[in-house]
Amino acid sequence: MSLAGQLNATVDGEILEEESKLTLKSYDVGHTTEDFLRAAIRLITGKYARADLAPSLEIILKELTTNAAKANFKKLFFAERALELENPDQYRTGVALFRELFSARMFREYGHKAKAARLEVATTFDYNADRIIIRIKNNVPMSSAEEKRVREKLKMAMGCTDVGSFILENIDESEGAGLGLMLCITALRAIGVNPRLFTIATDQENYTTAKVEIPLHDDYVPLRVAWSAN
């Protein structure tokens, strides 16, 4: 039976499956989506006798899919108020207002708006006996300022091993991005995965993609390591 068939779940989105790859395209990352993704990672890790990885990967999935959905919502929010993402002053104003006004009710409301605008979050599990690769892709690019900021926060988070100090240093974080990245890196370290196998990239035109590569045994050479060696 296919993985999607084993999940036997109803979600507000589109499920695509091919051999050893499962993708869910969703819009608001609500409870049904969270349940689907949680069940999927449990099935996949269980298939390869690595159920110990599931709790940490569930944390990462929730954080990254929520962030991707919020990025889509932010684009709509800014457009409604004629604010430009690339304008530093307007960006600061818009982000502050976005954070102040956003709520669970607005999350649902903007999920409907994102669906109408076809702003989706595509979560893909690419798996085999050697590794699991998770990609979370949303069709909104990061602005140049956002990309710079995320890279700085990611570098800081990777270089920090004291979570408490990191939280104190980022307590006034305007969007919580730094804390979310630190949470993902901490979750990876908890299962013995090199945080450098976690990347975020944008083409600055069409999309942003977060990627996590999870080795399932010690002999596996991650794609990023193999590519760097050539």
Tens of pLDDT, residue by residue over 122-148, are 999 999 999 999 999 999 998 887 888
Contacts of residue 70, defined as CB under 8 A and 6 or more positions apart, other chains included, come to 102
Count CA atoms closer than 13 A to 160's CA, side-chain side.
23
DSSP reduced 3-state for 15: strand
Tens of pLDDT, residue by residue over 166-211, are 665 665 555 555 778 888 999 999 999 999 999 999 988 899 999 9
pLDDT higher than threshold 80 for residue 164 = no
Residue 65 lies in a domain: yes
Residue 223 lies in a domain: no
Do the Cβ atoms of 26 and 15 come closer than 8 Å? no
- What percent of the chain lies above the pLDDT cut of 90? 53
- What percent of the chain lies above the pLDDT cut of 70? 88
The count of structural domains within the chain is 1
Distance from C-alpha of 26 to C-alpha of 44, rounded to nearest angstrom? 20
pLDDT higher than threshold 80 for residue 75 = yes
Q: Which amino acid is at 89?
A: D
Residue 14 lies in a domain: yes
Burial of 52 (0-12, 13-18, 19+ CB in 10 A): exposed
Other Cβ atoms less than 10 A from the Cβ of 221: the count is 11
Give the model's pLDDT for residue 169: 63
Residue 16 lies in a domain: yes
Do the Cβ atoms of 68 and 210 come closer than 8 Å? yes
Q: What is the pTM of this model?
A: 0.89
Residue 225 lies in a domain: no
Residue 82 lies in a domain: yes
pLDDT class for 19, splitting at 50, 70, 90? confident
Q: What is the mean pLDDT of residues 1-10?
A: 75
Distance from C-alpha of 206 to C-alpha of 1, rounded to nearest angstrom? 35
Contacts of residue 55, defined as CB under 8 A and 6 or more positions apart, other chains included, come to none
Residue 139 lies in a domain: yes
The boundaries of the domain holding residue 158 are 3-217
Residue 228 lies in a domain: no
Do the Cβ atoms of 152 and 198 come closer than 8 Å? no
Contacts of residue 80, defined as CB under 8 A and 6 or more positions apart, other chains included, come to none
**Residue 47: CATH number of its domain:** 3.30.565
Give the model's pLDDT for residue 176: 54
Tens of pLDDT, residue by residue over 42-68, are 999 999 999 999 999 999 999 999 999
Task: Tell me the pLDDT of the chain averaged across its residues.
Answer: 87
